[in-house]
A and B are shown apart, each in its own frame.
Chain A
Amino acid sequence: MRADVAHEAHVLVIGSGGAGVRAALEASRHGETLLVTKSVAGKGGCTPMAEGGYNAALREADSCVGHLEDTLKGGAYLNDLELVKVLVNEAPDRLRDLVRWGAVFDVTETCEVAQRSFGGQRFPRTCYAGDRTGHEMMMTLLEQLRASNVEVLQEVTVTDLLTREGAVVGAAVLDRTGRLEVIRADSTVLATGGGSRVYDVSTNSATGTGDGYSLGYGAGAELIDMEMVQFHPTGAVYPYDARGRLVTEAVRGEGGILRNAKGERFMSRYDPERMELSTRDVVARAIAREILEGRGTPRGGVYLDVTHLPAAQIEGRLPVMLEQFLAYGVDIRKEPMEVAPSAHHFMGGLRITPTGQTTVPGLFACGEVAGGVHGANRLGGNSLAETQVFGKRAGEAAGRAPSRGQRPEPRQLDLIERRLEGFLSGMVNPVMVERKLQLAMWKGAGIFRTGPELTQTLMEVEKLGRKRLHAPSKLNLAECMTVHHLCTTAMLVVKSALLRPESRGAHVRTDLTQAHDAANSPFGHTYLSQHRSGIEMKGGSP
């Protein structure tokens, strides 16, 4: 069977999180826009789970320059300066878009959007809606999506980006029944979110499987800094089956204190100045170190305590945390939480220009799937802002791109069909591959890394990537594709990690000693595509 073109659009947006919906809304002003999403629209991705907030310089006393400097410092100066400028300059306007569309942020007495402190920032510039900021944004965006003329295809899985003469001309998707369909588009926007589910312990939703990295890589796009994986310092450790569940940074923003099993406020040893509100990479390593050195709780975490805060503050500012922990039998007004680091965010991703253009014609990227904005470590509150700023930009650029009307190469569709048929006769349960991959990545490409372990992990990941996955019926093809994307993403992370011979931000090589600090690093982005790979040197060309 040859999949015929089932849908055509001027702009195809892949993903229905904050960036995808924002991109689709913008693109639809310029032409027919189709949004495809693996989940029910708005329920996937990490935006609805994002708790803490949205960074924007809104006050007289704050400034975009301050936001820029904090972001660069937090990012260990690996950020793409042009992208950061765009982020900090446009975050306030994109916040105003959300307010105009009805977002219910917390406000001050004078009806301004309220802001709170987040890690690594000199000014309390994180706007919030309790501790369900992302959910609030997502609901606002979804309402606008429902009111727009964007066509939405829900619960479909993209298997491949389709190309013609090196340009992306659409995508091949599996619909909910497992049937292969072709979508033709003049421009395609990847807004598929991150890939932290390559790790055993992760804060990500089920869709954080790195599909976009794998799709972009498959289409020939270049990815940068894929080794830069942020481990959120505070993931829940209990119950075991729900390990990694995000405990928002807002808990520390509101005054939460970290203690080890011996009752020591250990952050004083790692960052006496900023303490719990140090950057995420520092706090995550501190917690990991405490646990590694035997000062963790019996369940393998440390304590995060807000019991000294007034109950009303916890109820008003951290209602989701309160509710979630109560469901697990812990009243955070009376008892400390137990937390440990959890894979959270990919700072790296597809290389983009400030308009979201990737290195492949016809392909744009925005949100977590794109790299460069956050450098080697992301500040809390910057990614929700990123979704809106770059979602709009990518949507606009994709919308303004000319109509090309090219159809995909038939040969590529043949290959896709052959791979899908292979799943139907495959042997290996994809769930088992996924588990092995996650464990291997956690063990060999986690918070602390060494060259030999990374090399070993790469071998394991590649071995798992070659397994012949089994789909008992067409309904399971999507799952096999997801595991395929997961394996590709893991490979990209490990290969990139091997390309960077230094410790920087979230990437820590314990087997290397280095004389330089982040500000004086000779290294720039790592880069990786089907055609080339390497690491940029400062002052030199890539």
Chain B
Amino acid sequence: MAVRVFRWNPAREKEGKFRTYHVEVQEGARVLHVLHAIHAEDQTLSYRYCCGTGQCGSCAVQVDGEPKLACMTEARDGMTVEPLNLPVRKDLVVEMEPALAQIAPLLPKGQAECPAPEQIAAIKPLRECIECLACVSVCPAMEVAEFTGPAAMRQEMRLALDPRDAGGRIPEAIKAGLFTCTTCQACWKVCPKKIEIPGKAIEKLRALANREGLTLPRHLEVAELVKETGRTVPRTETSFLEQVDEVIEPAGPVKATVGFFVGCMYNLRLPKTALDAIQVLKRNGVRVIIPHEQVCCGSPLIRTGQLEYLPTLQQKNIECFTSRNIDTVMTMCAGCGSTLKNDYRTPFTVKDVNEILTEVGIEPPARLPLTVTYHDPCHLLRGQGIRDQPRALIRRVADLREMAVVKCCGAGGGTRSGAPEVSKALALKRDEEIIKTGADCVISSCPFCEFHIGTFSKTPVKNVTTLLLEGYRKKDEGKA
């Protein structure tokens, strides 16, 4: 098979380059075996490996841009193998020691009694970490903040759960950057052991911080507002819900009926965008039912570890749809969608607007003379696994030019309010990528991303549905 491998000896060369190798391996060979085969021919290739069975965490590399364990990933003809996105020592070998040194040791209280079975059960999933640093290599917050990163945070939570540990883990975790994590989910999506660090460590540590009275003041304010108003943002203009009827019938025959979970941001910050979406849905045969008593989904509370009021919100939201016998609830906020899908037990199906539009099939819009780029909302891409649908919809209207990297814009996880400088730094990095594409416009599908990128980028930001609506308007103008 032919393989492109990154080669770089920083001691001698200014920058690295890819080299293509042709090697023979047996059926079922892993990436590591391909590297062995290359090395047998070219001894100068440096790569790190040890156990060969996915247990030591030595051999993580990027395979076609994704962090993977070389020993467990099936090799593919034409694949590209690069080092992790960490300082490169040579070729595929990266510096691991600084990141590993951040992982806190247990401070023994001295007793040799085992924790109870339920405590063991809680710790175990966090204990499978093999310290391969795949997570660290993709963490956006670590690039801009003083943050020890996902592997270290996982360990803080593991220690916080252990009755044998004498350390004060919550203050330590906060000092190590607990509130700089945007909960973008990148870390656990690349984790070979699938350790859910944002949900099982970051948010849990923040919940423990809450119990210890260490929640950030800005986050406390948000929680207070939710308790008072059912919403995370104050009303500064006429809300979306104030502008729409409970049932919106489509223009033509009904192809689908959905309940619409609006979310705080589209209701109160970007109502115009939600109205645009309604226009597109109407035009494409979707009947939209909008219970007006719906409240915040609770995502900002979960992300910041303030869980006390959550059940009240969940119950209200579920009831407002079940009482109307709705079996499909549509979200257009990536954060709400991810929360309803992952943090709720709903008796109805939850789908994102991109999924709904893809399923019903849209009327072709006119093409706009625009080149756009698409920013993946973390909670849509990783929270809901939605990647292709928005892209396909965009391509119906405009030319799509991809950014070189998929990365968090910094809006999520309570970072915008809790660690604004981190949030801003991430947005500025995102803007650099946007500028590189030369696109006329950034398209996204999340109010947080739209609002946040909009604050820091000169390039206009639009929702997928707004772009579609513009396509329809142009089409209608053409007819008129």
Residues of chain A at the chain B interface (Cβ within 8 Å): 39-40, 42-44, 46, 48-49, 96-97, 99-102, 104-109, 111-113, 129-130, 132, 135-136, 139-140, 143-144, 146-147, 154, 176-177, 205-207, 238-242, 245-246, 320, 323-324, 327-329, 429-432, 470-473, 475-476, 479
Contacts and interface: CB of A to CB of B under 8 A. Distances in A.
Given A102-B164, A132-B128, A431-B40, A147 B105 contact: yes
Given A100-B164, A242-B30, A245-B53, A147 B116 contact: no
Contacts of B113: 99, 111
B101 A102 contact: no
Interface in B79-114: 89-90, 96-97, 100-101, 103-108, 110-114
Contacts of A320: 54-55
B52 interface: yes
Contact of B46 (A327, A328, A471, A475): A475
A106 B96 CA distance: 30
A324 B72 CA distance: 8
A239 B96 contact: no
Contacts of A99: 112-114, 164
Interface string B26-49: 111110010010011001101011
A222 B43 CA distance: 34
A241 B117 contact: no
Interface in B149-169: 159, 162, 164-165
Given A104-B123, A239-B28, A323 B106 contact: no
B107 A147 contact: yes
28 contacts: A39-B56, A40-B58, A43-B50, A43-B57, A43-B131, A44-B56, A48-B55, A49-B55, A104-B123, A104-B124, A107-B115, A111-B115, A111-B116, A140-B106, A143-B103, A143-B106, A146-B105, A207-B50, A238-B28, A239-B26, A239-B27, A239-B29, A241-B29, A241-B33, A242-B28, A245-B53, A246-B53, A472-B43
Contact of A205 (B26, B36, B52, B131): B52
B405 interface: no
B130 interface: yes
B120 interface: yes
A135 B55 contact: yes
Interface residues of B, number: 60
A472 B44 contact: yes
A49 B56 contact: yes
Nearest to B193: A323
Nearest to A101: B108
Q: Is the interface of B mostly helix, strand, loop or mixed?
A: loop
B25 interface: yes
Nearest to B100: A40
A101 B114 contact: no
A431 B114 contact: no
A205 B56 CA distance: 9
Given A241-B30, A472-B43, A136 B127 contact: yes
A109 B117 contact: yes
A107 B112 contact: no
Nearest to A113: B114
Contact of B44 (A238, A239, A473): A473
Nearest to A134: B55
A97 B51 CA distance: 26
Given A104-B123, A104-B124, A242-B30, 16 more contacts: A43-B51, A46-B51, A49-B53, A99-B112, A105-B114, A107-B116, A109-B117, A139-B129, A147-B107, A239-B26, A239-B28, A240-B29, A241-B30, A320-B54, A327-B54, A479-B43
Nearest to B117: A107
Contacts of A206: 49-52
A40 B28 contact: no
Nearest to B69: A327
Contacts of A106: 120
A107 B28 contact: no
A365 B179 CA distance: 47
A438 to B, nearest CB: 13
B346 to A, nearest CB: 26
Contacts of A102: 106, 108, 159, 162, 164-165
A526 B240 CA distance: 86
B51 A49 contact: yes
Contacts of A104: 115, 120, 123-124, 127, 162
A205 B50 contact: yes
Contacts of B56: 39, 43-44, 48-49, 205
A39 B130 contact: no
A130 B71 CA distance: 21
A114 to B, nearest CB: 9
A109 B115 CA distance: 11
B25 A96 contact: no
Given A44-B50, A102-B106, A102-B162, A132 B40 contact: no
A96 B112 contact: yes
Interface string B193-204: 000000000000
Smallest CB-CB A-B distances: 10 pairs: A239-B28, A102-B106, A241-B33, A143-B105, A147-B105, A240-B26, A96-B112, A43-B56, A205-B51, A241-B29
Given A111-B113, A472-B44, A144 B105 contact: yes
A48 B106 contact: no
A327 B72 contact: yes
B50 to A, nearest CB: 5
Contact of A241 (B26, B112, B162): B26
A116 to B, nearest CB: 15
A30 to B, nearest CB: 20
Contacts of A101: 106, 108
Contacts of B43: 429-431, 470-472, 476, 479
A126 to B, nearest CB: 16
B378 to A, nearest CB: 26
B194 to A, nearest CB: 9
B246 to A, nearest CB: 46
Contacts of B104: 143
A100 B108 contact: yes
Q: Which of B97, B114, B124 has the most CB of A within 10 A?
A: B114
Contacts of B114: 99, 105, 107, 111-113
Contacts of B46: 475
A442 to B, nearest CB: 17
Contacts of B117: 107-109, 111
A453 B164 CA distance: 55
Given A102-B108, A111-B116, A431-B43, A39 B58 contact: yes
B393 to A, nearest CB: 34
A388 B322 CA distance: 59
A99 B162 CA distance: 11
Nearest to A96: B112
Contacts of A241: 25-26, 28-30, 33, 36
